[in-house]
Structure 1
Amino acid sequence: MFDPPIDLSDLPGYQAAASTRPARVAFLGRCSTKDNQDPRSSLAGQLAEASTLLAPGETFTACFWDVESGMLGLDERSQGSADDYARLGVAVPRDGGLRELLEWAERGELDRVVCERISRVARDMLPSLQVEYHLASRGVRLECANEPRGGMTTGQLELRRTAQVRAEIYRHELLEQSMRGQRQHTADGYRHGPACYGYVAVVDPDAPPAANRFGGGRPKMRLALHPDARRADTVREVFRLRRVERLSDGEIAGVLAANLDRHPLAEGQVPWAARRVRKMLFQPKYTGFQVFNRCAARTNRSRMNPIAEWIWSRQQAHPVVVPLEHWHQTQLVTAQLRQRQAPGWDRVREAAAQRGIELTTVRQSDTHILYEAAGRRLVLPRGDLPAAVADEVIAALEAGA
């Protein structure tokens, strides 16, 4: 109905010139971690579904797939080594993962990318859209085997965006269910993560059998004291040195390193260092309680969650190495020591602001400044304020307030 009024088919450019080069089509696949899915069957099934979009005589130029969570951001994808993937024994050839696919598209080496469904690209909507945009902006079409062919673009787009929303909702549902299970796991006192120094993990013979849809599940484990009693004694000594003698992390590490016969190292670990001491002093499991959600595991393992967000077992679940009261006192001492490491003037100004006290300069010389605060006059040196002097000033502000 939109044809020209006369036959123009004899004109040059009437039809787009057909390309003589075969289309370069790539397969994109992903399955979750090898503990949750069998990559061999999952990826082979995805490849079979994606192959239905190939034209007669067409083959995949390259195959890109990962065995990892779809909840990862783009900068965290495709981290496994070639040796790791070779050990999986997946029959589908692998030219790389999602990261390599984007690099191929950047170099103009692909025309189409085919996957089973959009959730195989990513579970979160943002990275899924980023991949889609990256490919489209380079003239590469992303196709999904579970989407209908033909029709209007708006209908296809609505289906894809709906699938992306559904994938992200499913992702959050999985996280909620997982967190619920982890909370209950902790409340019952079962172990989370590797055993900390001074403990070993043992199977709980009284725990109900764990099973999943593949058959046998992981046994539930608890913490028990390490057979070498020196390790528990080392933990107690570390807490005593901080709580009673108020030693710094480095000073405590020096004490331990000076007597390795009394304070043995864990298997395969480097000599005692301030960082290891700091982690030990902050470990609440030494109180006999099981604790979960101390760090942001999925986003940044080095970022600690507020203590108010920690999940504790209902009762003590394993032998106590450090009484809960001593652990609490140790955290207070640690906070005081860290506070004293801050610049003296920052501490004084913060203490004054917390008490609504204004520091007013009365007069000054080349070496000292006379301040007035809360009805008192304080003569303080110019420049950096030593920690001991800052302690005295803060005590005077507290007395004046």
Structure 2
Amino acid sequence: MSHLLTDRRPVVAVLTVGDPVCLFRGNKANFKDIMKTGKDLDFPVYVVTTRDLKLSSKRIRGYQFDTDDKAWSKHWFPLPDVIYNRIPHREDERKRNVRQKINECIEHKSIYIYNPYFFNKRKLFEWLKRNRSTRALVPDTKRLLDPKKLSTMLQTYERLYLKPESGKAGKGIMLLQYDPEHEKPFRLTIQGQKYRHIVYRTAKLSALWKRIKKEMNNTPYIMQEGIQLTTYRDRNFDLRVLVQKTGKGAWMVTGVGARLAGLKRITTHVPQGGSIESPEKLLTPSFGGEMTTVILNRLKSNAVLIAKQIEKASGHMLGEMSMDLGIDIEGNMWFFEANSKPMKFDEPQIRKKSLERIFQYSQHLVNQPKNPVH
């Protein structure tokens, strides 16, 4: 049955939300790259907003980039076979009409949508704890609810990361350390804008909690054991892995990049002063060449296990995700974060492959009969 369909190129729509000022939201450079790759691979592709995506219509108003005019223009397109969700912000996704539209796509009898929603950090850790093979990769993580629980956790680990449940690009992350020798044993490092950070010290748990509450600003937070990661020239780094489904519908690692923290920064995010490096360069001084190869191979197989478990536990069809993994001084691997709307990888070989896989996976999808998850 499937070979009859293989020749037909599916119509792919990149989903975003409208914007009164600039037509639609999202990373337009990324959208242009997607359009170009679609064209090169002979796939019809366009950008559509949730408002214009009318699933009961035969035709849809969408956007294409005109390379001659160097501008986005609106045209009529056929209904998509596959919807690639790139709604850029959580606050857009939370809107009732947007969620309704995503649900309509999930329920639709023939249209596929993948990566329907952003991930929640706390849920990710809960999902990964459910599986024996991924449980060992997860640092101890709990909800940050009151000073008593915080104090108990701090006695266990002496270093904790405090992170917003729905954070992005390292915003709002704090590092809490406990040094019993110091007259003010609680040391809270708050990552400020750009290259500044604030260090707050106190001897009183109540004062510490008050300061943390102020930073949390009514946002749900998690607290996580601070893993002693291996460093490169005294700077932390983590490994950013892009995992996507292939033209056969199987999870595979598209590429591994590394992000080195800025000097004295508590996270490796590039907007926070981090830089892009090669994983081999950062791992080899600590582990040597041979062990580095072993670590990177293990990293890839673990990333695939993680992706499978997240997809299974989420109950939704996923086609790609990026994840941040760290390596501790013993060479053990730790999972910190996964993102269902991966930022584009700047490494050219990863970038090219990642764009092609969007279409290869879309082709795979239309060759399957759709059975809705619900």
Q: Does the TM-score normalized on the shorter chain lie above 0.5? A: no
TM-score with structure 1 setting the length: 0.22
Q: Point out the structure with the larger helix share.
A: 1
Greater Rg over alpha carbons, structure = 1
